[in-house]
Chain A
Amino acid sequence: MAVRLFRGGVHPPDRKEATASQAVARAPLPERIVLPMSQHLGAPCQPLVAKGDRVSRGQVVGSVDAMISAPVHSPVSGEVVDVAKALTPSGARVMCVHIHPDADQDLATFVPIDAAADDVAAIARAAGVVGLGGAAFPTSVKLVPPKRSPIDTLILNGCECEPFLTCDHRVMIESADAVVAGAARIASAVGAKRVVVGVEDNKPDALEALRKAVSEAGADIETVGLPTRYPQGAEKQLIFALTGRVVPQGQLPSSVGVLVHNVGTAVAIHEAVASRKPLMERVVTVAGAVAQPGNFLVLLGTPISDLIEAAGGLVGDVGRIVAGGPMTGQSLASLDVPVVKGTSGVVVLTAEESAPHVDGDQPCIRCGRCVEACPMDLHPFAIASHADRRMWFGVERFHGLDCIECGCCSYVCPTRRPLVQLIKSGKSALMVKGVKR
């Protein structure tokens, strides 16, 4: 099928070679599990356990009765040693359940979730599944599409366009059957007739594994290689590439009849439906300036410091340490933060690789590189300079609310202006003012 090219984008060095061929290994059991009550977009959970309680693997420890939310399950059996606020990768201090795991763990068993047998959305909710690509939007919400706009196409996102990250790559190779099974379950739940998996063409082995799994399962699923270009995995750009449909400003993919899920999320949904398994662990890429980069199956709540130790520890001049990918992830101030549902990777950049810190106000030289790079056809320099001067009307007039925050503009800026950061501040200011998009 013809793949359409979105305009703009950048080609950062992909740096995936160190971990792409490394099979996923289980990370060692940490001494302490810290489970934030807010690992997703939406309403934070309320802790359901208290200090001193015994918990078992798979038990719900936090939940809330709100539509956009996802419950939190304990990934270990052990004792709750504290319920207190702690730092998360996002830099916020949120309420967390701290668990001391039993030394003797049986990770093969768990408390199964309790949900109606045939309702995939309810199962995804009970299992606490969120988008594992990084945004961590509660999956159950997306599985109940608005009645006015029926879904005809399900897209599975296997692009993994962020440099360094290979967790989706490994999942597609090692769990291709589960990806295909999950896709079929989601498609039947939302009534999608067409199912397409999009994979960047720098992962030919993943495409191969998926094609094999599709033909073995006899499933009606298209597997499409896409040109390697960041942000090919951004939702609107991916939908355009695979269907030619353009999601209108301020609307969801469902407005053009499309639903997009990450490949890892499909696996989590499949496991939740098939074995009633809640989301308790995920694959995390640990890459960059560590002794033994690799992909790890990590219990949620594992401190990132433990994970770096599992990868052999830091080496060389460490610059930024990023939770997620280097284009959109969170730069960590402390390694004493837990892996959460949205943590796709821990990327340790050397001081030399890290984006340079620029003191003071750097001028825009109007070179136009941000305009060329913007996949949304915006004028990032103009939005950013209005935001910089707190002229919020300019942020709105130059369509700042359409920004997908991919970071291409900041990446290419020769004077190192923090463009996407300024645009984000402008967007928040407009939202506080109640400007709707």
Chain B
Amino acid sequence: MSDRSSPAGVAASHVVGPAPHIAAPLSCRHIMLWVIAALAPAALWAIGNMGAPAIVTFGVGIGSCVLTEFAWNALLKRTQTIGDMSAVVTGMLLAMSVPPRTPWWICMVGGIVAIGLAKMLFGGLGFNLFNPALVGRAIVMMSWLGVMSEIKTPAGVPAPGGWFAALSVPASGKLDAINGATRLAIAAADRAGNGGYAYDLAKQYGPLLLRNLEGSLGEVSAGLLILGGLVLLARGIIDWRIPVGYIGSVAALSWAFGSDPIFNVLAGGVLLGAFFMATDYVTSPITRNGRLVFGIGCGVFNIVTRFFGPMPETTTFAILFMNGLAPLIDRMFMPKPFGYLRPAKAVKADA
């Protein structure tokens, strides 16, 4: 500060700078802290239900993201950027997008890939094309597909009450094939078997909203994710257009395909994606209408691949696909300035 102190000797703290001379209080760091706070209830509830494995997943996920960013900046002698807290958000989202008992070294690789490859290599915060957490998840899922798909409900955790009752699987011997699978996988198997399991989707609302132990850490409570999303909307941290477009199109399309719209919104990664991942500022459109289109695109891709693809959990790829389209969407929906004149008309008016 001393070199910027008053040349006129007005006061030691006197400074000079460009207009505007006041600033809104919300900083980048505040925004990231709000996102962390909004994720916290769902994350803590997941840890409460899953115990030690979840703590390890969160710890390694967040730690590897922050350390990767720290090391990158330190090695390249750049200004340290971990203070903006965006790496913590990435780490939390990465941890919430993998199953609780994911081996710690897979989480670590996910964090390194997320921050190193998807964020810092592109130039750091603000320059990445794809959502870092989702790139990390996509790469570890595909690299260790066998490991990741074998992770079942942790042995020590009691099965949620009424889970098997709700499933009401006929004694046909097919039960083993889907034991420990996520509700989405069961629903998919049910669809493939033409309703042979009589899997009642409406009976899954309660467990999905409150306590669902099949799936990734972020799927434990859809209710708490909705709560966090509403907090972000109420605080003006995220724009309503992306979650509304995303969730709305998921519900509408699943209804159109003859499935239960509410189940399809609550199950899988839709809510985590719609509120916390697709809304990532850097990788989503900045135009108002573009954001709505982006949200709808995510929902359509998600449901179409969920129903007609080889595996039901496709939120990751839906958002990554739309991330790639975001710059084009922005270009399409560029607003016209207040008082815009079409160029030919403008020439006439100037003449």
Contacts and interface: CB of A to CB of B under 8 A. Distances in A.
Nearest to B346: A249
A201 B21 CA distance: 24
A414 B27 contact: yes
Contacts of B257: none
A355 B335 CA distance: 29
B122 to A, nearest CB: 11
Contacts of B11: 314, 317-318
Contacts of A434: none
A317 B11 CA distance: 8
Contacts of A399: 337, 340
What secondary structure prevails in chain B residues at the interface with A?
loop
B24 interface: yes
B336 interface: yes
Contact of B337 (A6, A381, A402, A414): A402
A286 to B, nearest CB: 15
Interface stretch (B123-131, B172-180, B190-198): B123-131
B10 A367 contact: no
A347 B20 CA distance: 12
Contacts of B287: 371
Contacts, number: 173
A40 interface: no
Interface string B23-34: 110111011000
Interface residues of A, number: 68
A331 interface: yes
Interface stretch (A20-28, A56-64, A99-107, A322-330): A322-330
Interface string A1-44: 00000110010100000000000000000000000000000000
B188 to A, nearest CB: 35
Interface in A306-353: 314, 317-322, 326-336, 347, 349, 351, 353
B282 A365 contact: yes
Given A357-B15, A365-B125, A415-B126, 12 more contacts: A314-B11, A319-B15, A320-B21, A327-B22, A329-B19, A333-B8, A360-B79, A365-B281, A365-B282, A377-B336, A414-B30, A414-B31
A157 interface: no
B126 A375 contact: no
Given A246-B338, A376-B337, A349 B22 contact: yes
Interface string B271-282: 000000000011
A163 interface: yes
Interface in B113-127: 123-127
A318 B14 CA distance: 5
A137 interface: no
Given A334-B8, A377-B337, A354 B126 contact: no
Given A249-B337, A363-B125, A415-B28, A407 B13 contact: no
A416 B17 CA distance: 12
Interface of B: 4, 6-8, 10-11, 13-24, 26-28, 30-31, 79, 123-127, 239, 281-282, 284, 286-288, 291, 334-341, 346, 349-350
A229 to B, nearest CB: 14
Contacts of B26: 412, 414
A146 interface: no
Contact of B16 (A246, A333, A353, A375): A333
A98 interface: no
A366 interface: yes
Q: Which A-B residue pairs are the 9 nearest by beta carbons?
A: A363-B126, A407-B20, A334-B8, A355-B23, A421-B18, A367-B281, A318-B11, A326-B21, A368-B286
A418 B339 contact: no
B20 A326 contact: yes
Contacts of B24: 10, 12, 411-412, 414
Contacts of B341: 248-250
Interface string A39-58: 00000000000000000000
Contacts of B22: 12, 163, 326-327, 349, 353-355, 411
Contacts of A247: 339
A55 B74 CA distance: 67
Contacts of B337: 249, 376-378, 399, 402
Interface in A234-273: 236, 240, 246-251, 255
A433 interface: no
Given A6-B338, A249-B346, A411-B24, A366 B15 contact: no
Contact of B27 (A329, A377, A415): A415
Nearest to B22: A326
B17 A363 contact: no
A218 interface: no
Nearest to A245: B339
Contact of A236 (B21, B23, B338, B349): B338
Contacts of B15: 319-320, 331, 351, 354, 357
A228 B23 CA distance: 18
Contact of B127 (A351, A355, A363, A418): A363
A147 interface: no
Interface in A361-398: 363-368, 371, 375-379, 381
